[in-house]
Amino acid sequence: MKPLLCLTLIWTFCLVMLGAYVRLSDAGLGCPDWPGCYGQLGAPDEAHEIAQASAQFGGEVEPAKGWKEMIHRYFAGGLGLLVLAVCCLLWQKRRQLSRISIILPLAVIIFQALLGMWTVTMKLMPVIVTAHLLGGMALLALLTWLAARSSSTPQLPSHLRPILIISLIAIVLQIALGGWVSTNYAALACNGFPTCQGSFAAPTGLSEAMQPIRQLGQTAAGESLTIHHLAAIHWLHRLGALLLLACLSALIWQLRKTSPRWAGLIAAALLLQISLGIANVWFDLPLPLAVAHNGGAALLLMLVVAALAQVLPVHQQATNSAFDATSPKHSGA
């Protein structure tokens, strides 16, 4: 069970990174159809295949982008089989896991497949692509929870639960904002750090830029997005980073005495993620750093979810405290 869970978790993390690579290398529409690519199982790369695909679907056929998209789909299919196997085994050997926590990964991966299809059929509509990113992160979080709950006994005190939940909410919001930046191609709209377009104030057009139901590059009214709209999206992501920094700093402060190991891991991941975010702005979004920034967000999410899974239930902590109070070393026996 443990090796399979570990493999599935690593596979999911790699798939999240691969999805980020496909999106950031502008290969999200490398295949204009779904689930195949130009009507076949692989991307067309022979001259006659390219000519046939161009005649049938129109536009320029780019085999390199097509293969990136298809490799991503192959990996997603493999993950579906792994998740099915994990859920079946957990269902047979469930102990402290609820039924809903075992079934949820399957439901998420089915919905992820639909989002993958809609990403193509709706021509990279930002709200769909962002939801696809959040679905991948949700699956990663669920599998992390299952792995943490099934592999060891909870050890962290229950008073940490509120700050862990707040930190988790802050991470999810920041991932959503980061996805909105990426899917709207707004990562380079703020041409400086810490200011955005020479100012700390929000650029104009934030409300229009945050409208969810609109096409890529357009406002809800069908007009083209300007650089100010894109800068507003990026500015909001930076504001979210400050909120996340405050939440995780409070969490690390509370963890430092009860669990220095967890505090150190989360602090290191937070420092890495902040450094990657700044480096992406300074170095004009090189692809390796941009993909690594997605991985840093996934790592922070996994750490906080795993820590939350290790929090003792309130009744169990009360029982442990009562036992400690009556043990010989506390009673003076």
Could you give the residue numbers annotated as active site? 69
Two tokens, residue 79: 């993950």
Please say whether the beta carbons of 154 and 313 come within 8 A: yes
Place of tokens 């990663």: 140
Task: Name the nearest CA neighbour of 131 among 83, 82, 168, 183.
Answer: 183
Two tokens, residue 239: 């504001």
The span from the CA of 155 to the CA of 308, in Å, is 10
- Going from the C-alpha of 58 to that of each of 44, 52, 55, the distances in angstroms are 14, 10, 6
Two tokens, residue 71: 């490799």
86 alpha-carbon distance from chain centroid = 21
The span from the CA of 110 to the CA of 122, in Å, is 18
DSSP-derived letter for residue 225 is: P
Task: Name the nearest CA neighbour of 233 among 183, 188, 307, 180.
Answer: 180
- Going from the C-alpha of 129 to that of each of 183, 242, 266, 279, the distances in angstroms are 6, 25, 28, 24
One-letter amino acid of 144: T
